[in-house]
């Protein structure tokens, strides 16, 4: 199993806090967002990491090498981080990841350590962690599921009243589905020039083509995506 962490963006909504530092290196309590994520993944038994960097890439590289010298890090640079989105960043990892099982993490999510083992222990090799215990908003990436908890729709455009919950930004893919994912990303980005879309659009493309992605309810566990100063303060109150 290889873990991909997407951490290339500039986080403009968090300026001036992110004027000169990547969002993933902001601290929640005594640890950065990135340190918390890497520790959680490592404790789940994964040692191979591919990290997509862009803005202030050297800071992320130095931080990880200094704090986790025994782990295996590969860094992929998205030189177009200002004009592309996370689907583009994910496609850049293809050479490193294709042929392996994949654990995919957004680099701006703070979460309870128990969520990753929950995905790893699931009998469903392709699955997505979903927060259901609180309401969802129009701007959240929402999922709609069938009676078997298979995701039938995913994206911000999913209606609030039909949503099972919000995608946390942590997903697991089997080896075969990882190959399918990269083929879908390539089709949409390289051939259809959709360089500025979220990777959930590729998830939906796969689901429409017959992929069975299961929504795993994160239950009582906490998670929050850090986009604004308010998110940062909320994470401090929950996790610090």
Q: Which letter, b or e, does each residue of 58-92 get, where b requires 16 or more Cβ atoms within 10 Å of its Cβ? A: eebeebbeeebeebebebbebeebeebbbbbbbbb
| Residue 103 neighbours by CB distance under 10 Å | 22
Decide if 101 contacts 2 (C-beta within 8 A): yes
Beta bridge partner(s), residue 214: 127, 150
Task: Give the pair of three-digit tokens for residue 16.
Answer: 């001036």
pLDDT of 10 above 90: no
Task: Give the pair of three-digit tokens for residue 192.
Answer: 């259809």
Q: What is the residue range of 113's domain?
A: 2-239
Decide if 25 contacts 33 (C-beta within 8 A): yes
pLDDT confidence band for 178 (50 / 70 / 90): very high
* CATH number (domain holding residue 170): 3.90.550.10
> pLDDT for 35-72, tens place per residue?
999 999 999 999 999 999 999 999 999 999 999 999 99
The most distant pair of C-alpha atoms in the chain lies apart, rounded to whole Å, by 46
Number of domains, the chain: 1
Structure confidence at residue 240 (pLDDT): 75
Structure confidence at residue 239 (pLDDT): 86
Task: Give the pair of three-digit tokens for residue 98.
Answer: 């294709």
Structure confidence at residue 12 (pLDDT): 76
> pLDDT for 78-136, tens place per residue?
999 999 999 999 999 999 999 999 999 999 999 999 999 999 999 999 999 999 987 77
């Amino acid at each position: 199993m290889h873990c991909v962490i997407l951490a290339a963006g500039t986080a403009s909504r968090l300026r001036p806090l992110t004027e000169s530092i990547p969002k993933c290196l902001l601290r929640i309590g005594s640890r950065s967002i990135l340190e918390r994520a890497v520790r959680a993944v490592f404790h789940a038994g994964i040692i191979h990491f591919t990290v997509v960097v862009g803005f202030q890439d050297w800071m992320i590289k130095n931080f990880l090498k200094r704090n986790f010298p025994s782990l295996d890090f590969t860094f992929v640079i998205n030189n177009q981080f200002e004009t592309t989105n996370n689907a583009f960043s994910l496609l850049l990892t293809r050479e490193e990841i294709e042929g392996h099982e994949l654990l995919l993490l957004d680099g701006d999510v703070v979460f309870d350590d128990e969520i990753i083992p929950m995905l790893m222990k699931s009998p469903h090799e392709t699955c997505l962690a979903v927060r259901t215990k609180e309401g969802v908003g129009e701007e959240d990436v929402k999922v709609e599921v069938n009676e078997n908890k298979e995701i039938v729709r995913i994206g911000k455009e999913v209606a609030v009243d039909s949503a099972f919950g919000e995608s946390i930004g942590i997903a697991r893919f089997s080896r075969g589905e990882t190959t399918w994912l990269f083929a879908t990303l390539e089709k949409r980005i390289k051939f259809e020039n959709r360089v500025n879309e979220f990777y959930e659009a590729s998830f939906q493309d796969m689901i429409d083509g017959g992929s069975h992605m299961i929504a795993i309810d994160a239950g009582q566990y906490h998670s929050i995506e850090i986009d604004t100063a308010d998110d940062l303060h909320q994470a401090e109150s929950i996790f610090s």
